[in-house]
Amino acid sequence: MPAFAETRACLYCGKTLKGRIDKKFCDDYCRNNYNNQQKAKGSHSSYVRNINNALLKNRKILESLLPDAEETAKASKEKLMNLGFQFKHLTHIYTTRNGKKYFFCYDYGYLPLDNDWFLIVRKKEE
Ligand SMILES: [Zn+2]
């Protein structure tokens, strides 16, 4: 038997494998667990990736609507939606002393105004 065949280990539990050279697992138990683990890993990371992408996109949209020279800007819900803004994704909520809620995507945020308008703000450097 070639040397590498003796050092093959089960991909799931790490036990040394005996027998066929193309074997990757001890048995079906290890194979199933390994496959489930990979599936879980894959779906988790793409889930996280999608949310991160949506958050970054939201931030970019807010940034594009707020000129550098201005402290705030206003945008309609329609405009935000047309740009692909996803309201369900945010990083945190900032509540002011008088109870106003600002919804943030990183350092850019918005305050819902009347009639589906939003005030866009930039977090001030501390
Ligand atoms: Zn195993």
The domain tally of the chain equals 1
Is the pLDDT reported for residue 44 higher than 80? no
Q: What's this model's pTM, rounded to 2 decimal places? A: 0.66
Is the pLDDT reported for residue 112 higher than 70? yes
Question: 7: domain range?
Answer: 3-122
Q: How confident is the model at residue 43 (pLDDT cuts 50, 70, 90)?
A: low
CA of 84 to the centre of ligand 1 (A): 46
Lowest pLDDT segment from 12-26, 90-104, 111-125? 12-26
Cα separation, 24 vs 28, whole angstroms: 10
Q: Is residue 62 within 8 Å of residue 109, measured between CB atoms?
A: yes
Q: What is the pLDDT of residues 58-93, one digit of tens each?
A: 999 999 999 999 999 999 999 999 999 999 999 999
Burial of 110 (0-12, 13-18, 19+ CB in 10 A): buried
CA of 12 to the centre of ligand 1 (A): 5
CA of 85 to the centre of ligand 1 (A): 46
Q: How confident is the model at residue 126 (pLDDT cuts 50, 70, 90)?
A: low
CA of 9 to the centre of ligand 1 (A): 8
